[in-house]
Chains A and B, each alone.
Chain A
Amino acid sequence: MNSVPQPGGRAASAPLMGHETEPTLFEMSVANRSAYQLRTTGVPASALSELVPAAHLNTEIVPVAEVSERDLVAHFTRLSHRQFSVDLGMYPLGSCTMKYNPKFCDAIASDPGLNAVHPGAPASLSQGWLEILVTLEEKLCAVTGMSAATLQPAAGAAGELTGLLLMRAYHESNGDDRRRVLIPDSAHGTNPASVTLGGYEVTTVPSNDRGLVDLEALKGALGSDVAGIMLTNPNTVGLFEEEITGIAKAVHDVGGLLYYDGANLNAILGAVRPGDMGFDIVHMNLHKTFATPHGGGGPGAGPVAVAAHLVDFLPGPKATRVGDGYFNWVAPSRSIGRVHGWHGNALVLARALAYIDVHGGDGLTRVAQHAVLNANWLRHRLRAILPAAYDRVCMHECTLTATPLKNKYGVRGLDVAKALLEEGFHSPTVYFPLIVEEALMFEPTETESVQTLESLAQALERIAQRAKDDPDSLRRAPQSTPVSRVDEARAARQLIATADSARSS
């Protein structure tokens, strides 16, 4: 058996990454050009001035754009050629789980039987949707080891805040006024931001030299005013918090609750469940673990599952199995209320259910195994040029450091990340988590072949060689991409947020 595979494909082989600046829709606009076509309705065409009092009508015409359908297609197609995506190539962004998004799940979501249903239709006329929501809730509970879940939160951060409001409602129902929530120093920024919006204060818990929560420091920070702790496990360094049961006991002993940030759930599917670790509240990022496409920054979905003692507080109304084969909307008895305008990002939820059904329990277990295998293979393969911040078995992602390249050649992690774009790979996550110097966090995911991983490794070896031979070229990288490094300071100093913003140079 050959231990080093042949390299596979990379996005540098893709034919088009547009280098020309594309005009904006507004720059392409020509008076009296149009693309729209509407249905012939036969409805009497009364003048708007007869229907609406003049005081409400805008005396000015709000300009949108005036383009032909052909120009519209060309414009957005050309924009798409200036965009990296999972479909184009490997996207090893740590903490983001950019796995392949099965086309089948998109096809499920584009069926009019799902996407043409009004969210306010009576339950009797949308039974299929309610069954989807109930079924997904049950399956997510099986994956996490929890009792019930809300599917309303539209993204991970929305799930976090929902979880904190559940924590608050629980303590308040016990007449218990608590002020603080503990967060490890390695946490995602959404955690502390959500804590503030949940009406709590953040207490930061330091990590130890193994990259894990320092249990003694944690115990020192605990007290009867602690509402709970938010933990990611495996944590944001990609390591499993081995003392999790000790952490859970310590927090529960002071009456606090444990919140599980599901950003890294992909690592543990079928191996261990948050509920069995002692967590009370769990959010999941369906756009990570359950492969729903990220859409260039959303939509996501951030369902929150809870243990039995929190079920009554869940947001509502909630799709509920009320009889043999019948489903209805039911508000939990002490519900915190709605956290979304309707029922959550329903089409994302349907995609996730299709993904779970295709994989099943056996497939999801294999997902985690292969994700962890890939991360460890990459960590091991790269150890000569980018050592791991904590050199032992990692979970689904590996946090490496560019410190040797920085010390020897003055090449920073950011330079490595930018040079990787020239090589046809998306960058890893850089400078996160904050506790690792020159961090480069790679999450290959389970859907990349070993040939693709080898291609990535060879690209990084070429970059390491360039660091030695021509470090300046790395500081100027990337050059072969649609644009080179952008002037971020100028963007912030002189905000141009629309095509109508005043420009002065």
Chain B
Amino acid sequence: MADYLPHTDDDVQSMLAFLGIESLDDLFAHIPQAIRLANGLDLADGMSEPDVAAIFAGYTSANKAKATAMTCFAGGGAYDHEVPAVVKMLSNRSEFVTAYTPYQPEVAQGVLQAIFEYQTLVARLSGLAIPNASLYDAATALVEALNMASGATGRQKMVVSSGVHPHWRAVARTFARGTGHQIVEVPLRDGVTDWASIDVTDAAAVVAAYPNYLGVLEDLSEAKGLATACDALFVVGADPVAAGVLKTAGQWGADVFVGEGQAFGTPLSFGGPYLGLFACTQAQVRRLPGRIVGETVDSSDRRAFVTTLRAREQDIRREKATSNVCTNQTLMAVTAAIQLGWLGTFGLREVATRCAQGAHYLFDELLALDGVEALSTQPFFREFAVRLAKPADQVIAAMAESNVLAGLSVGALCAGADPSVDGNVDDVLLVTVTERRTKDEIDHYVNVLREALTR
């Protein structure tokens, strides 16, 4: 009887008596007997917390890649950034953790104001006026951007750079099964989108990534020009950490910004829960997916916050809603506001700069090794891809023996050949350096890779 239920046997008996029935089973008597479970669930009986903790200890010890045991150089949209005690403790406050969606603003000002602050930061980092209150992750945020573009233009063709993360593109392809969107993926040449190879006529959206998933900083002027010429929405998937120092999506002329907000205070978490960042121009505000918090006043003229523009949402507009999103990732949005508050204006710039410094230092060291070539000659920011003389998965496995998570196999990320990479994709390794990596760790990486390649 290990559980969290308060009722004693006496409670149950007196409650049944109050209802004038004999047994708990009477409450289920109206369910047709033919479909009732005769012998209960086919699950083991409950266990105490310490007993369950012992089972989970087995799982955690089998996770050899945990960043506490293995130095993490893997990125690809999931980054090992510093999350200080103060951010963990504030974001774990149970008032934030155990609240529901803020439908009763009188008792939800805490979450509502934190989302408002989050929205302000998303708007600033994206350079776009209208943020939302979060989406599931970057991949699903991209899908919402495509739906917005389709609504804005009445068209179905989505021209997507293959510099967009392979998983985001995969998710877009999946949801296109329902919406009927035609996803056209533009190949990369030397790590840069070859826009000229694709006819963008009748496009609803032109989608670029900044930096792209291979780390390359592409000049987005050409993509913006194409989007403008065919009256498509220009969607930019940007790294929000890089946005501390690089041009914002808005400065590149984006109509819609999407991004992955995990880097702002959320641990690696095996991929979720993460944080889908989304912002658009004022012109698209009526098509915004999901919730948005707005400032207003209460009946005593005090400042108050409330979810607003609700007429777009599924619970009111039903089949004509701009999106089906209801539950989003509020706790991660609140966490992002706290983490950014901790970093501040100059801390975010410092993190972005240190990522770039570390990545360029490692890149230069790696190119001095035999069996390592740069995949692209183009500028990069905090992440880069190299072609190895051996399959990337073998190198990753070998380096793991020295407690280094070497990066991500691009072949695995793409699940095979992909328009983003010329030639054999399985030899390509995607490497990231965050502000947490020391020079000693980077030098160790170089030595371990050298061994792995010569073994």
Contacting chain A: which of B189-197, B201-209, B392-400, B445-453?
B392-400
- A503 surroundings in chain B (CB, below 8 A): 295
Residue of B55, B102, B345 touching A62 (CB-CB under 8 A): B345
A19-32 interface code vs B (CB 8 A; 1 in, 0 out)? 00110111000000
Those of A221-254 within 8 Å (CB) of chain B: 240, 242, 244-245
Do the beta carbons of B309 and A492 come within 8 Å of each other?
yes
Q: Is B222 an interface residue (CB 8 A)?
A: no
Q: Is A290 an interface residue (CB 8 A)?
A: no
Do the beta carbons of A496 and B327 come within 8 Å of each other?
no
Those of A40-91 within 8 Å (CB) of chain B: 40-46, 48, 51-53, 55-58, 61-67, 69, 72-73, 75-77, 79-88, 91
CB distance from A171 to the nearest CB of B (A): 12
Do the beta carbons of B28 and A427 come within 8 Å of each other?
no
The verdict on A354 contacting B435 (CB below 8 Å), with A1-B17, A189-B315, A484-B106 known, is no
Contacting chain A: which of B223-231, B347-355, B367-375, B420-428?
B347-355
Do the beta carbons of B53 and A108 come within 8 Å of each other?
yes
Do the beta carbons of A53 and B217 come within 8 Å of each other?
yes
Residue of A38, A110, A341 touching B271 (CB-CB under 8 A): A341
Those of A333-375 within 8 Å (CB) of chain B: 336-348, 350, 354, 356-367, 369-370, 372-374
Q: Is A318 an interface residue (CB 8 A)?
A: no
Do the beta carbons of B41 and A165 come within 8 Å of each other?
no
Do the beta carbons of B347 and A485 come within 8 Å of each other?
no
Do the beta carbons of B106 and A421 come within 8 Å of each other?
yes
Do the beta carbons of B131 and A193 come within 8 Å of each other?
no
Q: Is B232 an interface residue (CB 8 A)?
A: no
- A244 surroundings in chain B (CB, below 8 A): 32, 35
Q: Is A188 an interface residue (CB 8 A)?
A: yes
Residue of A67, A113, A293 touching B61 (CB-CB under 8 A): A113
- A411 surroundings in chain B (CB, below 8 A): none
Residue of B6, B129, B327 touching A498 (CB-CB under 8 A): B129
Do the beta carbons of A35 and B344 come within 8 Å of each other?
yes
CB distance from B127 to the nearest CB of A (A): 8
CB distance from A65 to the nearest CB of B (A): 5
The verdict on A52 contacting B381 (CB below 8 Å), with A189-B316, A336-B177 known, is yes
The verdict on A43 contacting B63 (CB below 8 Å), with A38-B350, A121-B74, A297-B133 known, is no
Nearest A residue to B210 via CB reads: A56
Do the beta carbons of A490 and B271 come within 8 Å of each other?
no
Range of interface residues on A (Cβ < 8 Å):
35 or more
Q: Is B34 an interface residue (CB 8 A)?
A: yes
Count, chain B residues at interface, CB 8 A = 216
Q: Is B186 an interface residue (CB 8 A)?
A: no
Do the beta carbons of A42 and B440 come within 8 Å of each other?
yes
Do the beta carbons of A498 and B119 come within 8 Å of each other?
yes
The distance in angstroms between the C-alpha atoms of A121 and B80, with both chains bound, is 13
Q: Is B154 an interface residue (CB 8 A)?
A: no
The distance in angstroms between the C-alpha atoms of A270 and B6, with both chains bound, is 19
The verdict on A417 contacting B62 (CB below 8 Å), with A72-B342, A85-B94 known, is no
The verdict on A3 contacting B110 (CB below 8 Å), with A190-B314, A346-B271 known, is no
Do the beta carbons of A340 and B137 come within 8 Å of each other?
yes
- A124 surroundings in chain B (CB, below 8 A): 64, 397
- A385 surroundings in chain B (CB, below 8 A): none
Do the beta carbons of B324 and A157 come within 8 Å of each other?
yes
Residue of A58, A113, A120, A342 touching B248 (CB-CB under 8 A): A58
Do the beta carbons of B70 and A125 come within 8 Å of each other?
yes
Name the residue in B94, B107, B310 with the highest tally of chain A Cβ atoms < 10 Å from its Cβ.
Answer: B107
Do the beta carbons of B93 and A131 come within 8 Å of each other?
no
Residue of A81, A317, A362, A372 touching B28 (CB-CB under 8 A): A372
Do the beta carbons of A497 and B294 come within 8 Å of each other?
yes
The distance in angstroms between the C-alpha atoms of A197 and B405, with both chains bound, is 39
- B350 surroundings in chain A (CB, below 8 A): 36, 38
Do the beta carbons of A271 and B19 come within 8 Å of each other?
no
Contacting chain B: which of A399-407, A441-449, A458-466?
A441-449
Name the residue in A1, A340, A380, A432 with the highest tally of chain B Cβ atoms < 10 Å from its Cβ.
Answer: A340
Residue of A119, A193, A276, A297 touching B323 (CB-CB under 8 A): A193
- B251 surroundings in chain A (CB, below 8 A): 58
Do the beta carbons of A91 and B100 come within 8 Å of each other?
yes
CB distance from A123 to the nearest CB of B (A): 10
A366-390 interface code vs B (CB 8 A; 1 in, 0 out)? 1101101110110011000000000
Q: Is A158 an interface residue (CB 8 A)?
A: yes
B50-85 interface code vs A (CB 8 A; 1 in, 0 out)? 001101111111111111101010101110101010
Do the beta carbons of A491 and B295 come within 8 Å of each other?
yes
The distance in angstroms between the C-alpha atoms of A27 and B125, with both chains bound, is 18
Do the beta carbons of B299 and A380 come within 8 Å of each other?
no
Do the beta carbons of A58 and B246 come within 8 Å of each other?
yes
The distance in angstroms between the C-alpha atoms of A490 and B304, with both chains bound, is 11
Do the beta carbons of B42 and A113 come within 8 Å of each other?
no
CB distance from B316 to the nearest CB of A (A): 7
Residue of A77, A116, A298 touching B331 (CB-CB under 8 A): A298
Q: Is B236 an interface residue (CB 8 A)?
A: no
- B391 surroundings in chain A (CB, below 8 A): none
The distance in angstroms between the C-alpha atoms of A380 and B15, with both chains bound, is 10
CB distance from A102 to the nearest CB of B (A): 6
CB distance from A319 to the nearest CB of B (A): 11
Do the beta carbons of B30 and A393 come within 8 Å of each other?
yes
Do the beta carbons of B304 and A100 come within 8 Å of each other?
no
Q: Is B357 an interface residue (CB 8 A)?
A: yes
Q: Is B356 an interface residue (CB 8 A)?
A: yes
The verdict on A481 contacting B106 (CB below 8 Å), with A298-B327, A360-B44, A498-B120 known, is yes
- B63 surroundings in chain A (CB, below 8 A): 113-114, 117, 125-129
The distance in angstroms between the C-alpha atoms of A133 and B302, with both chains bound, is 47
The distance in angstroms between the C-alpha atoms of A142 and B178, with both chains bound, is 29
- B344 surroundings in chain A (CB, below 8 A): 33-36, 64-67
Q: Is B419 an interface residue (CB 8 A)?
A: no
The distance in angstroms between the C-alpha atoms of A143 and B221, with both chains bound, is 53
The distance in angstroms between the C-alpha atoms of A285 and B326, with both chains bound, is 12
Q: Is A324 an interface residue (CB 8 A)?
A: no
Q: Is B454 an interface residue (CB 8 A)?
A: no
The distance in angstroms between the C-alpha atoms of A200 and B325, with both chains bound, is 17
Name the residue in A22, A193, A194, A365 with the highest tally of chain B Cβ atoms < 10 Å from its Cβ.
Answer: A193
- A317 surroundings in chain B (CB, below 8 A): 415
Q: Is B16 an interface residue (CB 8 A)?
A: yes
Do the beta carbons of B315 and A338 come within 8 Å of each other?
no
Q: 21 A-B contacts, Cβ less than 8 Å apart?
A: A79-B109, A84-B95, A101-B97, A104-B53, A192-B314, A240-B30, A269-B41, A273-B37, A293-B98, A340-B139, A341-B171, A342-B274, A345-B273, A359-B46, A374-B15, A377-B15, A449-B11, A483-B302, A486-B299, A488-B308, A497-B129
Across the A-B interface, give the 3 residue pairs with the lowest CB-CB distance, nearest first.
Answer: A113-B60, A342-B271, A83-B110
